[in-house]
Amino acid sequence: MRLRNVLVAATSAIGLVLAVPVSANAADGVFRYTYRDGGSEHRGEVVDPKAEQCVDVRGATEEHAAFAPVNRTSATAVAFVEFGCVGDTYRVLDPGDSVGRRLLFRSVLFS
């Protein structure tokens, strides 16, 4: 009888562990920013970004970078001036950080 109770408990525990969803290394939340298009400003966002994946932000161009980032994700975001998350010029934004309109960027990497 004791062995059966142990087996039921073990099987239940395994089932519970397998039923809990895994985030697949994604950050929860939204990374917001502003960009210019056609002479007016627009809001862009990256929702639940994957970790360690570079995102070239929508709306940013060679002529006009995105600006005013707000990191409302659960991950650290690194904003880069260049597309492809390359170059020496970047800014680290911890979860909850926001930076004013002077920070220009074209890509962001989440960790």
- In tens, the pLDDT along 19-50 reads 444 445 778 999 999 999 988 999 999 999 99
> What is the number of domains present in the chain?
1
Would strands 77-80 and 40-47 be described as parallel, antiparallel, or unpaired?
Answer: unpaired
Contact 108, 99 (CB under 8 A): no
Looking at residue 6, its pLDDT comes to 38
* Residue 3 resides in a domain: no
How deeply is 20 buried, as exposed, middle or buried, from its count of CB atoms within 10 A (0-12, 13-18, 19+)? exposed
Which pLDDT does position 2 carry in this prediction? 53
Domain assignment present for 8: no
91 located within any domain: yes
Residue 35 lies in a domain: yes
Phi, psi of 40 (to 5 degrees): -125, 160
Quote the domain boundaries for residue 84: 29-110
pTM as predicted: 0.75
pLDDT value of position 27: 87
Of 82 and 5, the structure prediction assigns the larger pLDDT to 82
Within-domain flag for 13 = no
* 34 C-beta neighbours (distance < 10 Å), count: 15
* Cβ count within 10 A of residue 25: 12
Domain-located, residue 22: no
pLDDT at 24: 53
d(CA 65, CA 89): 13
**Closest Cα partner for 31 from 42, 43, 55, 47?**
47
Q: Say what the pLDDT of residue 26 is.
A: 78
Residue 5 forms part of a structural domain: no
Give a yes or no: residue 79 inside a domain.
yes
The better pLDDT of the pair 2, 8 is held by 2
Per-residue pLDDT tens for 59-110? Answer: 999 999 999 999 999 999 999 999 999 998 899 999 999 999 999 999 999 9
